[in-house]
Amino acid sequence: MNAENYLKLVQFYQDYAAAVDQEDWDAWLNMFTDDAKYKVQSRENYDRDLPMAVLNMYSKNMLKDRVYGMTETIFHEPYHQCHVVASPRVISASGGEIEAQANYSVFRTKTDGIAEVYNVGRYIDRIQVTDQGFKLASRLCVFDNEMVLNSMIYPI
């Protein structure tokens, strides 16, 4: 991958973090292909090859339902997220598809609270290069935390 494309890829990762942190769910949805997979999974399940995950979505439509659920139906304490995403590590890039990974840290700040480390892990991604730019065909968020701090409402 040449430097220009790598910079585009870096921009894509930062755009994702900004969309989630700013709760711009249309922008977030727009970063996935229609049949995208999205999963937030503990490292324990991932390492042991167990399929269970905290969030386990198999299509962009499921992600749309998630957006409706987290904005309209799930009662929860409001909170902000701040994602700090490291430079992506390109695993492979060929035939219009990129495999890349990036470490992330997510801080959560509740309405009355101060920032706390909420979720730390690694994105494992398959990204399609399309006419409309990069699209996630699959994003797997594997987190190191032994447990979720109570609940997880917004995507990582």
Q: Which residues bind other proteins (CB under 8 A)?
A: 40, 42, 44-45, 48, 50-59, 61-62, 64-65, 68-69, 72-77, 146-153
Residues whose CB falls within 8 Å of the CB of residue 39, separated by 6 or more in sequence, listed in order: 53, 55, 56, 57, 139, 140, 141
Nearer to other proteins, 76 or 89 (CB): 76
Smallest distance from other proteins to CB 106, Å: 13
Please calculate the CA angle 49-62-83 and round it to the nearest 5 degrees.
70
The answer for residues whose C-beta is within 8 angstroms of residue 106's C-beta and 6 or more apart is 81, 82, 83, 84, 117, 118, 119, 120, 156
Find the shortest distance in angstroms from Cβ 62 to other proteins: 4
Nearer to other proteins, 7 or 149 (CB): 149
In whole angstroms, how close is the CB of 119 to other proteins at the nearest point? Answer: 11
15 vs 23 by CB, closer to other proteins:
23
